[in-house]
Amino acid sequence: MFDPRDSRVYYAACTRVCSTGLQRACPHTSDTDNTSHHAGTRRDIIRCRVMVEYAGEARMQDDIRAEAAQYYDANPTIPDDRAFYTARLPSAAASVLELGCGTGRVLLPLAAACGSIYGIDRSPAMLARCFQKLQAAGMPPTKARAELGDMTNFVLGRRFDVIIAPYRVFQLLETDPQVDGLFRCVRAHLAPGGTCILNVFHPQGGFEHVRQEWRTATEVCLWEATVDGVRLRCDERRARFDPEKHTLYPELIYRRAVGDAWIEDAVLKIPRRCYAPEAFERVIREYGFRIVQRWGGYAGERYGEGPELVVQFSG
Ligand SMILES: C[S@@+](CC[C@H](N)C(=O)[O-])C[C@H]1O[C@@H](n2cnc3c(N)ncnc32)[C@H](O)[C@@H]1O
């Protein structure tokens, strides 16, 4: 069982390659045995192997976001859901758990509006960015903290009023055992009367439509942005589609401009398991939860009519 509190067991074989202050934000600050620091390197990268459990078996895995993490906050296409999640807080004293908190995009603004927030994420590189922001905001750990953890298998020893997993985190669970694990952990960590909100994108037009799109355009530009004077972009290579599992396998290719050329910095290969509106509700009900409310997006869209599927449920 993955227990984020027992971090020494799970932080291992970490090699940091830093040019700036990332080493201070790295969760392995106190672990000097397995680290190496090369000052003056071009990019800030945290390479780390973390222990993950897959189908009941523990194994070491690289942080697949080690390099892609530096691009995450530049993405201008992430729907602005922060006001939405803030509005779902039952009170200013509410305790919140964020699964897959990443760089703290939602965790930080929510921290200012709730009693306390706890984030877990499997990527040390994403977490390092979150730690930097928490530190810069002077956020006390009693108010907001984030730790390494697997949302399909964790024990925090406490319960929360609200559990969230913003920006389609649920779709990263490719297998049924992973989905089982998430719902089991949600149930174990929801306070009496508490609710959980999960979100996936809405495959408008159905899977066949999505599949056709993937066949006709095999690589598309998802976004371009300029950050600190550097032009960045992300292209999606539509590598594979599994019609049985309703899962897309995009490869996100992150590039930055140097003169007229685009230099490839990182490739992030992820699963994106898709749910039709009815199927998403059905899976939540199948795990014995009661649906409280549902939305089709963050701008008042009706469920099944907007770009997102967002469902709030209780135990
Ligand atoms: C699309 S990002 C979302 C980040 C954040 N929730 C937001 O809205 O900006 C997905 C995050 O989920 C994390 N993640 C993926 N699988 C996970 C798992 N099994 N346990 C914990 N975190 C996971 C990734 O490391 C990544 O930071």
Count of domains for the chain: 3
Same domain, yes or no, for 141 and 249? Answer: no
Residue 23 has pLDDT above 80, yes or no: no
Q: How many CA atoms lie within 13 A of 259 on its CB side?
A: 1
> pLDDT tens digits for 251-310?
999 999 999 999 999 999 999 999 999 999 999 999 999 999 999 999 999 999 999 999
Question: Is residue 59 one of the residues assigned to a domain?
Answer: yes
Which of residues 262 and 9 earns the better pLDDT score?
Answer: 262
CATH for 268: 2.20.25
In this predicted structure, the answer to whether residue 90 has a pLDDT above a threshold of 60 is: yes
Interior angle at CA 131, CA 129 and CA 137, nearest 5: 105
Answer whether residue 2 is part of any domain.
no
* 49 and 110 co-located in one domain: no
Q: Which residues pair with 241 in a beta bridge?
A: 248
Q: Are residues 57 and 114 in the same domain?
A: no
- How far apart are alpha carbons 174 and 68 in whole angstroms? 20
95 within some domain: yes
The pLDDT tens digits of the residues spanning 121-178 come to: 999 999 999 999 999 999 999 999 999 999 999 999 999 999 999 999 999 999 999 9
Instruction: Write out the residue range of the structural domain in which residue 38 sits.
Output: 7-64
> Which residue has a Cα nearest atom 11 of ligand 1?
100
One domain for residues 221 and 196: no
Per-residue confidence (pLDDT) for residue 16, from 0 to 100: 38
Any bridge partners for residue 220, and if so which?
Answer: 236
Per-residue pLDDT tens digits for 41-55? 334 444 566 665 555
Residues 283 and 290 sit within 8 Å (Cβ to Cβ): no
Q: Say yes or no: 92 and 160 in one domain.
A: yes
- The mean pLDDT value of the chain amounts to 86
What is the best residue among 1, 3, 117, 121 to mutate for testing ligand 1's pocket, by most ligand atoms within 8 Å of CB?
A: 121
- Same structural domain, 115 and 243: no
Q: Ligand 1: which of 122, 153, 200 to mutate, most ligand atoms within 8 Å of CB?
A: 122
Residues 120 and 185 in one domain: yes
**How long, in residues, is the chain?**
315
